[in-house]
Amino acid sequence: MNSLSHLASLVSGYDPDALPVAQAQHLIGQFVTPVTAVEKLALRSALDRVLADDLVSPIDVPPHDNSAMDGYALRGADLHATQPVTLTVAATVLAGGGFQGTLGAGECVRIMTGAPMPAGCDTVVPQELTQDASETAVTIPPGAVKPGDNRRRQGEDLQAGKPALRAGKILRPADLGLIASLGIAEVPVYRRLRVAFFSTGDELRSIGEPLDPGCIYDSNRYTLYGMLARLGCEVIDMGVVKDEPAALEAAFRSACENADAVITSGGVSVGDADYTKQMMATLGEVAFWKIAIRPGRPMAFGRIASNGRSAYLFGLPGNPVAVMVAFYFFARDALLRMMGAYAEPLPRLQAVSQAPIRKKPGRTEYQRGMLSAGADGRATVRITGSQGSGILRSMSEANCMVVLHHEQGTVNAGDLVEVVPFDGLL
């Protein structure tokens, strides 16, 4: 079912020169499968890794009803709606301490934040709302609190026997803390996804090499490194590979023998020296798509094999911005799926465009933008200069992608556009 020719048959209804972005994303998502190997890691080492099993809570968190404030714990029934109430202070309970007795009518306990609620108490009045507090008595004005206020319930955060986290969750700082709150020291995570990548092109020089006439430095390997590292992949940087059949074949074979996925840049457009496409086609089942997108129109996707090992292949375009767009909007979701992660959809916000943006219906455009809060407090976005697919500065100066949808036409100044922010708080 998951053969690429089957998948290709699903897109036969589309113009081969303009495969819609959503369709390409869907096909890739259907084709890839997650890694299965699981390793147990010490909690700290599991940061940014993908949880491999549901994590069932062994205890209630918090393990006991406790106070949310510094103040006095009392019986809600003792409060009076219109009259001040003076209660006897029977004891003091600190966080980590406890009160063994049961509170009688007219009594209260001085209590600190996090201290267990004494038996019989259901309410805490914060210290600052009390009057005439002494060692032995305290007065509570009418209306200061309602019965049940300022009490944290046992298990209100996590309940024993229930899943605290689901398999597929990428473990973020809050999750490490949450797992620690359960007293769990080791967690099962999927093994890291191994991704090999190389750049293709006779014109490319690596950093440290002299820049011969007509040549440029390879930048794609560095953006790819950054994007893959951020995603939590183990990376194998294979350098620059010349547009020569033997060199390309050796690189593709080594890549797919050693990695789960192979990402290349360059050589998938219709240039004379693009042996890359031929080589991909020789080694496996690879579809060459012309996607209705800007930038990043040509792309190869499939599975290649060598010596009994195989890997998914993403043949990204060569232009530096196109590489990033194709990575983020085609490879990223697929890699997350291969990592075993369930990825929440990216937050997509609406922002007011500060200027007109020319756009033809019939393709999805990803422009680079700077998102900020306007004077009226609404989100506003400005495009970061020239949007050529080779102009990496447009990406470097941006903090979001402006997504102009397939059917969308030209945007007027003041229109709302969709943006995908690059970075969140985490």
Q: 369 pairs with which residues across the strands?
A: 383, 400
Is residue 295 at the binding interface for ligand AMP, with CB under 6 A as the rule?
Answer: no
Chain position whose Cβ is nearest to ligand AMP: 318
Interhelix angle for 275-283 vs 245-258, to 10°?
40
**Residue 219 contact, options ligand AMP, Mg ion, none, Cβ 5-8 Å cut-off depending on partner type:** ligand AMP
Of positions 10, 94, 216, 355, contacts ligand AMP by CB under 6 A: 216
Residue 20 found at the interface with ligand AMP (CB under 6 A): no
Chain centroid, CA 334 distance in Å: 13
Q: How far is the CB of 260 from ligand AMP (least distance, A)?
A: 22
197-223 in b/e burial notation, b at 16+ Cβ within 10 A?
bbbbbebbeeeeeeeeeeeeebbbbeb
> Residue type at 24?
A
- Establish if 139 lies at the interface with ligand AMP (CB under 6 A): no
Distances (CA, A) of 267 to 29, 247, 271, 341: 24, 14, 7, 30
> From the list Mg ion, ligand AMP, none, which binds 20 (C-beta under 5 to 8 Å, kind-based)?
none
Contact segment (CB under 6 A) with ligand AMP among 76-84, 163-171, 265-273, 411-419 equals 265-273
Q: Distance (Å, rounded) from C-alpha 333 to C-alpha 154?
A: 38
Binding test (CB under 6 A) with ligand AMP, winner from 67, 319, 364, 394: 319
Q: How far is the CB of 373 from ligand AMP (least distance, A)?
A: 35
With tokens 């911005």, the residue in question is: 321
CA gap 288, 301 in Å, rounded:
7
Token pair for 238 = 């294979």
Rounded least distance, CB 318 to ligand AMP, Å: 2
Integer Cα distance of 374 and 395 in angstroms: 21
218 binding ligand AMP? (CB under 6 A): yes
Show the CA angle centred on residue 416, arms to residues 410 and 422, nearest 5°.
100
- Between vectors from CA 12 to CA 11 and to CA 14, what angle results, nearest 5°? 75
Q: Which of 69, 87, 140, 204 binds ligand AMP (CB under 6 A)?
A: 204
Min separation Cβ 388 and ligand AMP, Å = 11
CA distance 373 to 356: 18
One of 20, 71, 302, 320 touching ligand AMP (CB under 6 A): 320
End-to-end alpha carbon distance in the chain: 38
**Closest distance between Mg ion and the C-beta of residue 171, in Å?**
39
Stretch that binds ligand AMP, among 116-124, 165-173, 201-209, 414-422 (CB under 6 A): 201-209
Q: Which stretch binds Mg ion (CB under 5 A): 76-84, 125-133, 142-150, 198-206?
A: 198-206
The site that binds ligand AMP (CB under 6 A) totals a number of residues, namely 17
| Residue 244 binds ligand AMP (CB under 6 A) | no
Looking only at residues 250 through 289 of this chain, which bind Mg ion when binding is defined by CB under 5 A?
266-267
The tokens for 310 are 């195989």
Which residue type occupies 210?
A: P
- Of 266, 284, 302, 369, the residue at the interface with ligand AMP (CB under 6 A) is 266
Per CB under 5 A, residues contacting Mg ion are: 201, 266-267, 318
Per CB under 6 A, residues contacting ligand AMP are: 199, 201, 203-204, 216, 218-220, 265-267, 269, 271, 317-320
